[in-house]
A and B are shown apart, each in its own frame.
Chain A
């Protein structure tokens, strides 16, 4: 058991916890701007080339994207569940919830990888093997460029999250956290759910396109 004492610059452990949370919120504010600019750029192009974006969007894998959205939403529940369990000193369940969270993250990456392979087979990968389909014009490639940049950056964020969740799962199992101190879990939970929220916007922008005939 680690001795519970705040770092020297904090008067109490509660202050330290509060500061850690606010620090993560500051980082997330920069992420809002980062992803916000990316998504805004996408919509500007979409307004400029509405028909081409709809044509290109038809080739996205809506089912796979939906499954991935459900996986991430579920992982946010298991993430907060781990925090709730550690608050009750139910360490075994807290660690299990964290391992399930990481597993759901891996499942997301697996589905995404499969989707990328399918995209490659469909010749929708800009710079590698992109082919315009009948009635498509070059702006259709812009859509796919955004698709790979946005989902790629998101996958990097998620991968970082998975590593962090796994580290914390082991820490939790070794009782580094308890009802008295679980600040790192809370901070990580913020990051995890934020990455989930970003995906919700990417899904809305990329997937439900051009299916209405």
Chain B
């Protein structure tokens, strides 16, 4: 009964370990990407398993997804300048 939760917990701790170890690796500019990527995987596990998104009713996906959908606009419009203009910010 608790097994799926315990397995998820172990996976989450292993991912935490990888995130900490990655800090000491010479990844250069990929550090934030690696750490953020691991956090996304960890959060996905927390949402799916601990917050039981996989259980019915399916409509909670709409509610859960809405916040992230609006966040896409914030992130998307926010990074346009950085993605499309060379040498920004100046100096």
Contact = CB atoms under 8 A, between A and B. Distances in A.
A201 B66 contact: no
Contacts of A194: 46, 51
Contacts of A208: 19-20, 22-23, 31, 35
Given A33-B67, A81-B5, A44 B51 contact: no
A47 B20 CA distance: 21
Nearest to B22: A208
A96 to B, nearest CB: 14
- Residue with the highest number of chain B CB atoms closer than 10 Å, among A18, A50, A209, A211: A211
A25 interface: yes
Interface in A50-76: 50, 62, 66, 69-70, 73-74, 76
A22 interface: yes
Interface in B17-46: 19-20, 22-27, 29, 31-32, 35-36, 38-39, 42-43, 46
Given A73-B16, A204-B35, A36 B24 contact: no
Interface string A118-129: 000000000000
Nearest to B23: A208
Contact of A203 (B25, B39, B74): B39
Given A36-B75, A80-B2, A196-B46, 16 more contacts: A22-B57, A22-B60, A33-B70, A36-B71, A37-B74, A40-B75, A43-B32, A46-B32, A81-B2, A88-B1, A190-B51, A193-B47, A196-B50, A201-B39, A209-B31, A212-B27
Interface in A69-108: 69-70, 73-74, 76-77, 79-81, 84, 88
B67 A193 contact: no
Interface string A18-42: 1001100110111111001100100
Contacts of A161: none
A164 interface: no
A29 B16 contact: no
A142 interface: no
A32 B2 contact: no
Interface residues of A, number: 50
Contact of A62 (B8, B13, B20, B75): B20
Given A32-B67, A36-B74, A203-B39, A62 B82 contact: no
A70 B12 CA distance: 9
A86 B33 CA distance: 40
A136 interface: no
A200 B39 contact: yes
Contacts of B6: 77
A22 B59 contact: yes
A32 B1 CA distance: 30
Contacts of A80: 2, 5, 50, 52
Given A36-B71, A197-B47, A212 B16 contact: no
